[in-house]
Structure 1
Amino acid sequence: MTELLSTVHKNNTSTYLQLGGEVGIHKLVDRFYELMEVLCEARRVRQMHPPSLAGSADSLFKFLSGWLGGPPLFQQERGHPRLRMRHAPFAVSIVERDEWMLCMRQAINEQVDDAVLNAKLQRMFSEMADHMINTDGSRAGVAAPL
């Protein structure tokens, strides 16, 4: 599915540009991780990450750049994203997915006023987050994804 998502969105520069290009992607990623840091409702997903979120933020920024139709920074640096494979060592249940989406949903809502673009991004991120689920929640999460 990640190949499908990457293929579908890699040539869609309008999504990247509508979000504000590099500056807009950085703003979204920074707010997303700020929310993960402060929302007690995101406790489990935050614990899956290292103490510093800088590396995670850098990876997410680079991935989103290409995934949303901008420069394929992640692929240039690290190859195909293979999100599910890269997240396989981490227990991602519905709980972690929901916590991750809570942060992303709020970050998108704060940044994107256009209802059509907002709905499109919410749908795209929701589909991606659903695809990352790899457990029923019985394993404890470890280390940092991506």
Structure 2
Amino acid sequence: MTPEEPTPYDLIGGEEGVRRLVDRFYDLMDELDEVTALRDMHAKSLKVSREKLFMFMSGWLGGPALYVEKYGHPMLRGRHMPFAIDQEARDQWMLCMSRALEETVEDEDLRRYIDVSIGRVADHMRNQF
């Protein structure tokens, strides 16, 4: 019997690592002037958004499927349809995520893997072309 390979969730530091990433992501959304349009798509308080992204990222990275357990299948594209997500919004979201990854994930290979993978998800969220 061979031990299971660690998941990205394990490698990022489990719950603590995912929380650190998500918190930094939303902190950057509040701090960076160049993502004002993205920030304006969100509620004044980011508390609910932080928790939902944390739950989603937990399962997406191979940890507990917290989002699915609470809300069902993420259906990301459908849940984001009420928002006009164009290339600029996608790029602003990725700017925050890429910087948060740089600041919170030490392992360069893991950071690159997550960045590329979540970039595909961000591409899929675009609904304005």
The two structures have a TM-score, normalised by structure 2, of 0.94
> What is the Cα-based RMSD across aligned positions, in Å?
1.3
Structure 1 letter corresponding to 2:41: M
Mapped to 1, the partners of 2:95 and 2:13 lie a distance apart of: 22
**Counterpart in the other structure of 1:117:** 110
Mapped to 1, the partners of 2:47 and 2:69 lie a distance apart of: 19
Structure of greater relative contact order (alpha carbons < 8 Å, 6+ residues apart): 1
**Counterpart in the other structure of 1:40:** 33
Q: Quote the sequence identity (%).
A: 47
Alignment of 1:47-86 (within 5 A): 47-86=40-79
Superimposed CA distance per residue, residues 79-103 of structure 1 (whole angstroms, 9 cap, x where no aligned partner):
0001001001110000000000000
Aligned residues: 126
Alignment of 1:91-106 (within 5 A): 91-106=84-99
The two structures have a TM-score, normalised by structure 1, of 0.83
Q: Are the aligned partners of 1:19 and 1:25 in contact in 2 as well (CA < 8 Å)?
A: yes
Unaligned runs of 5+ in 2: none
Q: Are the aligned partners of 1:44 and 1:96 in contact in 2 as well (CA < 8 Å)?
A: yes
Distance 1:40 1:92, change over 3 A: same
**Counterpart in the other structure of 1:139:** none
Distance 1:57 1:13, change over 3 A: farther
| Structure 1 consecutive aligned stretches of length 4 or more whose deviation exceeds 3 Å | none
How far off is 1:13 after superposition? 5.1
Unaligned runs of 5+ in 1: 1-11, 137-146
